[in-house]
Amino acid sequence: MAFTALAAGVSGLQAFTEGVGVIADNITNVNTIGYKESRSRFSTLVTETSARASYSPGGVRAFADTLVSKQGLLQPSNSPTDLAVDGAGFFAVRKSESAESVDGEINYTRAGAFAQDEDGFFKNTAGLFLLGWRLDSAGNPPTNRQDESVLEPINITKLNGISEATTEVVARVNLQASTATQAYAAGDLSAGTATADFETNVQIFDSLGREHTVVVSAIKTAANTWNVEYFFDDPSVLDAGEQGANGLIARGQLVFNSDGSYDESSSSLINTRTTGGGAITLPTSASNPLTFAYDTTDAIVNDGSISLDFGTDGDTDGWTQFESASSLISSSVDGASFENVNGISIDNDGIVSALFDNGLALKVYQLPIAVFNNPDGLQRLQGNSYGGSDNSGEVNYQIAGQSGAGGVAPNALEQSTVDLANEFSELIKVQRAFSASTRIITTADQILEELVRV
């Protein structure tokens, strides 16, 4: 019996030593961003037989559980790259030799104190690269968001001097109903052989970010009927063999209902780009919005394609004909010439936008939120990160705030979940238990000594 009691006391020393280690880990990480406290759990070791003729002490065994799913306090920060997950989920990060490497294993963390390195990539204090989905030209993430190969390290410094070509022009224009009609032939407005009743300029951008002026000109040719032309104010930038004369890129005939609304079915719009300068005729049906293409003389510039929207059929949300003076009410043109990156902005949806010194912003990446069925089953790794395991289940990458994933809290950091008062009280309990186990060993030793003396 003394020997088994001695073994039980030794198991207590081992278990409570592990308990002290867990508490020590918690206390030393009380200021570690995103740290999740661990707790010691103890289980009995039973050595009794079914006969129960005598009691046989077994001992105790220690287990450590990490409360990964516990939410820490969010503390405001002045840095736009300090991030926290408000709710369930983790940031996807990679530890590798370089940001360009795709061989590094993807880990998961809530330690969101990210900062740019010398190459412009965002890493946290453990050196883990922040990963995200690159957005397409329409600002959408990849369709297959569970494919880890589409995740790439965040870097916005490579965007210096980029441009985005204009693809859409939306305008609200009113044309004065009482305007007198004029004689008109196709191309008269761009050639200047007819006087426009309404004219305005629209600034567009080509693929190199160079700005061009497109003239929008309209002339009344019949009751409720106007002819409109779009042409470059500098025709020399266009390939004359592929485009209409005098910089003409689009033309058409707009018809309005008696209430001043746009009559799409009676209108006709056309792209004037041709091959070899062939004849241009108006289509018999409307084409709204009209997507026209233009071909430049500069081989290093991509040909442009722009959508023109004249409004909803039977509505007054676009071009209208009322008695008030002809005028441009409002316009919206996309595309821009971006200059140098001078900052970054991240919103609650995890959208990463590059801020440029000319005041423009461009959405570039979106941060995925990695969620697990059992986050407490994740494997602890170096750098306050975690890896998947059989107990955690498979990772599921979600858009922030959707399908159970938490939102992104910019300008905030998640504090450690360690409660110092609780840790010190646990430390006292474990220390007392350790001391008691030493007494068991001392007492067992004294019993054995007495037996030896007999």
167 and 305, same domain (yes or no): yes
CA–CA dist 120, 158 (Å, integer): 8
Bridge partners for 312 per DSSP: none
58 and 183, same domain (yes or no): no
Whether 217 shows a pLDDT value over 50: the answer reads yes
- Longest CA span, the chain: 133
237 and 288, same domain (yes or no): yes
pLDDT in tens, 15-51: 888 888 888 988 999 999 999 998 888 877 776 665 5
CATH of residue 302's domain is: 2.60.98.20
Q: Given this model, what pLDDT does residue 72 score?
A: 92
286 and 232, same domain (yes or no): yes
242 and 370, same domain (yes or no): no
Full 3-state SS string of the chain: CHHHHHHHHHHHHHHHHHHHHHHHHHHHCCCCCCCCCEEEEEEEECCCCCCCCCCCCCEEEEEEEECCCCCCCEEECCCCCEEEEECCCEEEEECCCCCCCCCCCEEEECCCECEECCCCEEECCCCCEEEEEECCCCCCCCCCCCCHHHEEECECHHHCCCEECCCEEEEEEEEECCCCCCCCCCCHHHHCCCCCCEEEEEEEECCCCCEEEEEEEEEEEECCEEEEEEEECCHHHECCCCCCHHHEEEEEEEEECCCCCECCCCCEEEECCCCCCCCCCCCCCCCCCEEEEECECCCCCCCEEEEEECCCCCCCCCEEEECCCCEEEEEEECCEECCCEEEEEECCCCEEEEEECCCCEEEEEECEEEECCCHHHCEEECCCEEECCCCCCCCEEEECCCCCCCEEEECEEECCCCCHHHHHHHHHHHHHHHHHHHHHHHHHHHHHHHHHHC
Domain that holds residue 372: 74-162+340-414
Rounded mean pLDDT of 399-415? 93
242 and 359, same domain (yes or no): no
End residue of a domain, out of 292, 309, 337:
337
Closest CA to 67 of 33, 24, 36, 97: 36
Whether 394 shows a pLDDT value over 70: the answer reads yes
Percent of the chain exceeding pLDDT 70 equals 87
For residue 249, what pLDDT band results from cuts at 50, 70 and 90?
confident
User: What is the count of structural domains for the chain?
Assistant: 3
Q: Tokens for 56? A: 């046989």
Query: Out of 64-73, 90-99, 298-307, 347-356, which region has the weakest mean confidence (pLDDT)?
Result: 298-307
Closest CA to 418 of 132, 39, 89, 12: 39
For residue 292, what pLDDT band results from cuts at 50, 70 and 90?
low
Contact of 367 with 356, CB cutoff 8 Å:
no
pLDDT in tens, 82-137: 999 999 999 999 987 555 555 578 999 999 999 998 888 999 988 899 999 998 87
399 and 287, same domain (yes or no): no
406 and 426, same domain (yes or no): no
> Mean pLDDT across the chain, nearest whole number?
84
Q: Given this model, what pLDDT does residue 290 score?
A: 63
Q: Given this model, what pLDDT does residue 388 score?
A: 92
Rounded mean pLDDT of 215-224? 96
Whether 245 shows a pLDDT value over 60: the answer reads yes
- What's the pTM? 0.65
pLDDT in tens, 253-263: 999 999 999 99
127 and 193, same domain (yes or no): no
Query: Out of 55-59, 401-405, 447-451, which region has the weakest mean confidence (pLDDT)?
Result: 55-59
Contact of 85 with 113, CB cutoff 8 Å:
no
End residue of a domain, out of 313, 337, 361:
337
197 and 321, same domain (yes or no): yes
Q: Given this model, what pLDDT does residue 281 score?
A: 44
320 and 182, same domain (yes or no): yes
Q: Tokens for 222? A: 């019949």
193 and 93, same domain (yes or no): no
